[in-house]
Amino acid sequence: MKKLGKVISALMASVLVASALVGCTDAASTETSDSQAQTQPAQETESSSDNGATFKIGAIGPLTGGAAAYGNAVCNAAELAVEDINAAGGINGYQVEYSKEDDELNAEKSVNAYNTLKDWGMQILVGSTTSACSIAVSEYTKADNMFQLTPSGSAVDCVKYDNVFRVCFSDPNQGIASAQYISDHNLATKVGIIYDSSDVYSTGIYQKFVDESAGKNYEIVSQEAFTADNATDFSVQLQKAKDAGADLVFLPIYYQAASLILTQANTMGYAPTFFGVDGMDGILTVENFDTKLAEGVMLLTPFAADATDDLTVNFVKKYEEKYGETPNQFAADAYDAVFIIKQAIEAKNATPDMSISDLGDALKGAMTEIEASGLTSSKMTWDASGEPNKEPKAVVIKDGAYVSAE
């Protein structure tokens, strides 16, 4: 058990260190966007006085500290979306005011941030960015019946209340999305799976994948597990997939183990398509890793910054101009979130003078009726559970970079 704890703490520490590095480079852009955020509402208050009222949308995320890269992506993109909406005439003619608060990746601070935003007059919440914070805040939005849309909270419990919806897939639903993607794109006839049986994230995706695979145009020929204590030798798991003739190996695991799997598959001369989920994101950052080994690896992700459709091209261009960096999937989810809220408000002809609770009821109803389109999918619908239903997207690694698989 001691060793399992070690591996988990290693994983967590690696996430912390990795995001801390990103966080450092982000500091400058955070300051500029902060000052913009401060000047922005002032201007909007003037313009809004023309037609009387404004919608007030707030966003919460870790803007400083270890996960600042995620929080800044969400808050920047939400800000960009609000600006775009205001420039195009607002929602139902009402302008939108926007404010954001830092939660430092801490659930209690996320609740404080929520209260600060409520004092400011927030009616609708985009956030929180991360799962644990989002769950903590949902206890309070539930009590206030405020409409909450988390762009990126992927834990199952994030949407346990009826007033909370999400844009991204939940962790286990990535298994369903992967199965659909593999089937829709005819990627394989025989599929092998290697998963981490000591990890909730991995087993959750694995089970959903297996359930969803029933009746698809491929068959699962091998299902092999490993544990955190046993994550060095994958020869057996790979050999079994190879002997069973798997032409695609599904890896619902983190990239650390995946890098060893890719190396060992190469040594034994086995070259199926490897298909990962968001845990695979990071494989190209492993120091001294021969990225040639990752050539052709596919991974499920809602957003590829190099996609060539007009919406993505415009978004990436504007985001890069304003914040000086390429937007990631968190940014895309948040940008979509604000436009989804706009569409939901329009569907119910809601107005800013409605109470928070009335607005919450209206938007809850609207969410199950609308069909949204955005950066992360051209067609998104929701059921009352809060889970999105949308077409999965994937990227493939080519020449050491992510390229849209479409």
Partner 1 sequence: MSFLTYLINGLSLGSIYAIIALGYTMVYGIAKMLNFAHGDFIMVGCYIIFSVSAALGGNSVVGIILAVILCTLLGITTEFVAYRPLRGAASPLAVLITAIGVSYFLENVALLIFGADIKSFTSVIKWEGLSFAGGQLRIQGVTVVTIAVSVVILIALQLFINKTKQGQAMLAVAEDKGAATLMGINVNKTIMLTFAIGSSLAAVAGALLCSAYPSLSPYTGAMPGIKAFVAAVLGGIGSIPGAMIGGLVLGIVEILSKTYISSQLSDAIVFGILVVVLLVKPTGILGKVIQEKV
**Residues 129, 104, 282, 331, CA torsion sign:** positive
Q: Return the residue of 110, 163, 237, 301 that touches partner 1, per CB under 8 A.
A: 237
Q: Which stretch, 65-73, 173-181, 282-290, 371-379, contacts partner 1 (CB under 8 A)? A: 282-290
On whether the CB atoms of residues 122 and 148 are closer than 8 A, the answer is no
227 is an interface residue for partner 1 by CB under 8 A: yes
Distance CA 289, CA 226 (A): 22
256 is an interface residue for partner 1 by CB under 8 A: yes
Chain CA centroid to CA 254, Å: 16
| Tokens describing residue 214 | 């029933």
| Tokens describing residue 101 | 């608060």
In a 3-state reduction of DSSP, which class is residue 247?
Answer: coil
233 is an interface residue for partner 1 by CB under 8 A: yes
Q: Return the residue of 39, 230, 314, 385 that touches partner 1, per CB under 8 A.
A: 230
225 is an interface residue for partner 1 by CB under 8 A: yes
322 is an interface residue for partner 1 by CB under 8 A: no
200 is an interface residue for partner 1 by CB under 8 A: no
Distance CA 99, CA 61 (A): 12
186 is an interface residue for partner 1 by CB under 8 A: no
295 is an interface residue for partner 1 by CB under 8 A: no
288 is an interface residue for partner 1 by CB under 8 A: yes
263 is an interface residue for partner 1 by CB under 8 A: yes
Distance CA 216, CA 250 (A): 15
Q: Return the residue of 87, 119, 186, 287 that touches partner 1, per CB under 8 A.
A: 287
| Least distance between partner 1 and beta carbon 251 (Å) | 14
Q: Which stretch, 26-34, 100-108, 263-271, 323-331, contacts partner 1 (CB under 8 A)? A: 263-271
Q: Applying CB under 8 A, what is the total number of residues that bind partner 1?
A: 38
Q: Return the residue of 197, 326, 355, 357 that touches partner 1, per CB under 8 A.
A: 197
How is 28-60 classified by DSSP, letter by letter? HHHHHHHHHHHHHHHHHHHHHHHHS-EEEEEEE
207 is an interface residue for partner 1 by CB under 8 A: no
Give the list of residues 6+ apart from residue 334 with CB closer than 8 angstroms, or none: 59, 73, 74, 75, 76, 77, 78, 81, 126, 129, 151, 152, 167
Distance CA 109, CA 145 (A): 20
| Least distance between partner 1 and beta carbon 20 (Å) | 10
Distance CA 137, CA 310 (A): 35
Q: Which one, 122 or 257, has the nearer CB to partner 1?
A: 257
- Rule CB under 8 A: which residues touch partner 1? 3, 6-7, 10-11, 13-14, 16-18, 197, 224-227, 229-230, 232-233, 235-237, 239-240, 243, 256, 259-260, 263, 267-269, 285-290
